[in-house]
Copies of this chain bind each other. A is one copy, B any other.
């Protein structure tokens, strides 16, 4: 198996590699670390660390660096994409620009996610064009956020086989198991929606539905998924919905509270935005990575918040490689699984994954209480993909106008101006 990591200079890379080294089934394993030339120093550091990790574990693996895309892709079975257009500096802008307008500033949700999508889609489509030429049979595993939108763009504008991954649904499953004090494999969550906009509609314990019991038993007081801190009121909301929302839904249901938190963090006396905090962590991480004594994934990596990133990637790659079927929520074209969303729309829902590929399980109708929101955000996502794919200013406006967290036409217009001011190098010209 040959695996190409695109954006290998990310501090996340050791996380994914660590999972692969644990699994002995990918043997012999060849890893190619691809990134832009300007990231070569970081890639160097990571390359060294991986070799030490492999040696430490006694695993034989070939690791190489490559800054020419075609060479990096040749013969690959899996291309894992985790690159960040504009680096953390751009993410910090994604967070700070919306805050100036009194809007949620977040990497994936709202205006920040829109900026990131508009920057990332052009680069991703360049990448998939090369995959089509060089390794058309490879699976493209997308981790780059906003994962659902990027996956939609790949399916819309290329023929590459693509799955969008996210660790949130997996975490939700783990948390549900935790609440039930049960081993995760006894617990199954029915789940539907979009990336960072999904809902657990039922929880099965040993095949028996228990969600309503869990609600009645006030089990949701405890936190579900940690990377978004829980807002007061969520447990009551869960009781009324009869569903468990992704923690990212807090941006919709508790916008005011989430905004207040963000503003406090971003204030001169605050700890900085999430991106700013990670920027600091990242420096620290690379110092640790560099240390020749480091030959395991450092504990500090967990601070980045990517719990189970590696786990979901490895589960997916094993299943696609033929090591037995698994069911897992991933981002993939709907094909009728969720009623009311178009067949081509990428959704996040449970899929069967095995060597034959990815097939969504039929889900049926969305609950009335959340279906409208999901449909509206899906329309935003589709318009964003079209805005980027067609370089259309008009569709960019319509996308933001369709987003529930943008609040109106004026904001839409101004945010696009900001985008063109800060990111036109990545977004390209809009007509």
Q: Is A362 an interface residue (CB 8 A)?
A: yes
Interface centre among A325, A338, A364, A376 (most CB of B within 10 A): A376
Q: Is A409 an interface residue (CB 8 A)?
A: yes
CA–CA, A364 and B345, complex, Å: 13
Q: Is A360 an interface residue (CB 8 A)?
A: yes
B188 pairs with A356, CB closer than 8 A = yes
Q: Is A337 an interface residue (CB 8 A)?
A: yes
Given contacts A240-B398, A356-B207, A407-B255, contact A362 B376 (CB under 8 A): no
B408 pairs with A255, CB closer than 8 A = yes
B361 pairs with A410, CB closer than 8 A = no
A361 pairs with B363, CB closer than 8 A = no
**Which A residues between 316 and 348 are near B, CB-CB below 8 angstroms?**
322, 324-327, 334-340, 343
Given contacts A324-B324, A398-B241, contact A371 B379 (CB under 8 A): yes
Q: Is A125 an interface residue (CB 8 A)?
A: no
Majority secondary structure, A binding face: mixed
Min C-beta distance of A287 to chain B, whole Å: 41
**Which A residues between 200 and 258 are near B, CB-CB below 8 angstroms?**
204, 206-207, 233, 237, 240-241, 252-257
A364 to chain B: which residues have CB within 8 Å? 335-336, 343
Q: Is A305 an interface residue (CB 8 A)?
A: no
Q: Is A84 an interface residue (CB 8 A)?
A: no
Q: Is A394 an interface residue (CB 8 A)?
A: yes
Q: A residues near B, CB below 8 A?
A: 188, 204, 206-207, 233, 237, 240-241, 252-257, 322, 324-327, 334-340, 343, 350, 352, 354-357, 359-365, 368-373, 375-380, 382-383, 394, 397-398, 401-402, 404, 407-410
Nearest 5 A/B pairs, CB to CB: A372-B376, A372-B379, A337-B362, A369-B398, A359-B361
Extra 18 A-B pairs, beta carbons < 8 Å, given A359-B362, A369-B398: A204-B356, A206-B322, A207-B356, A233-B409, A241-B398, A253-B408, A253-B409, A254-B409, A255-B407, A325-B325, A336-B338, A336-B362, A336-B363, A337-B362, A343-B364, A360-B361, A372-B402, A373-B402
